[in-house]
Structure 1
Amino acid sequence: MTTSTRVPQEERTRVMRARLLEATVDCLVERGFAGTSTTLVSERAGVSRGAQLHHFPTKNDLVVAAVEHLTEKRGRELAEAAAKLPRGEKHTRAVLQMLADHFTEPVFSAALELWVAARTDETLLAAVSPLELRVGRETHRMTVELLGVDETKPGARELVQATLDLVRGLGLANTITDDAKRRERILDRWADVLDDMLDREI
């Protein structure tokens, strides 16, 4: 005689939501915001349309939750990567590489689709803005900590922000074409600049 183990409703709901969120990010990356629909997402996730609408009544609800889900996941991965960074003379370059990898991940492309769509959609903008502010603050804090920057010194905060603007811009360029070789050269040079400025001026 065999017995079946029944999966609790709470666990089934968690798994279903995760499938929907991951399918949404995949659609945003592959088809963009305009090409992503709730019907397409439910089909890709293997979830009924009714179940999808129960959890996420609108497209905006779905895409914002999906990017938040993946952003939090990527945040955990960033923290794990940070713990493995080498010390010594290669440390600054390794920090830059970690940040550059973050901004060339699929989740960045998905977030970019939301930023563009939110520019002309007030409801979406209201949902996306707090998320981006939170992510930005956490990434800034982590960068300060990893680079050992004393932000009480003049110019220090601006140097960190310039670094984040640089790697974000490189990530944006990568969405158009494979920019890996140029990106490597720029990161090499910026690592030298950072080491010089952190040691002598800040």
Structure 2
Amino acid sequence: MEANLMDIKQVAEFLQMNKMTIYKLAREGRIPAFKVASEWRFRKDLIDRWLMGQLQGKPGIEGLALEMKPEAGKTVLIVDDEEIIRDFFARTFKDYRVITASGGEEALGIIRKDRPDLVLLDIKMPGIDGLETLKRIKQIDESIVVVMLSAYGTLETNLEAARSGAYTSIAKPFDSSYMDSVIKDAISSGAGFGEAAPPVRKPRKRKKAGVSGSSQ
């Protein structure tokens, strides 16, 4: 580990706090932190500045906003067989670390080596479809947040996705600002396997669609 980076145990010892408290602060965005694979990491210089702010009666990390966006260090895996969809998300989520895969097998291979914070997963794909890929993702790591992408998904399909651990399902076509809001909510929620999933999310109609696809 780099000299300037700390893990949860080291930060807990440095701040003389419980490890679970540090974990909760990181999850809630109340202490400067980012993820490497599935592990939280902390920059020592930012922790020092955060601590100084606490001692001076300036709680939170507002002073670090320019250096520590909520998206900083977050990894999003885009799984869709349509290149236009993958490119759309790569442009939309430029503040995130974006990885793309054109199918389920490729996505599973990536996840085994590099755990993302969020997976955007198309339901209808050749080979392993989205629902089967979702189930296999949860077998690898239940904590990975998965959002399903659907053009004409039925209620039954969306319910099956929810039962399999999906955070939510989003209907195509997509609006970039709406998608950004949903993704931020999904990442901050950390909803995982066994938690109740929100209903299917549909784009607001006040804007024209940014991109569409043929998946269901």
Looking at secondary structure, tell me which structure has more helix per residue. 1
- Considering only CA atoms, is the larger Rg found in Structure 1 or Structure 2? 1
Looking at secondary structure, tell me which structure has more strand per residue. 2
Higher relative CO (Cα under 8 Å, sequence separation at least 6) belongs to 1
TM-score, length basis structure 2: 0.27
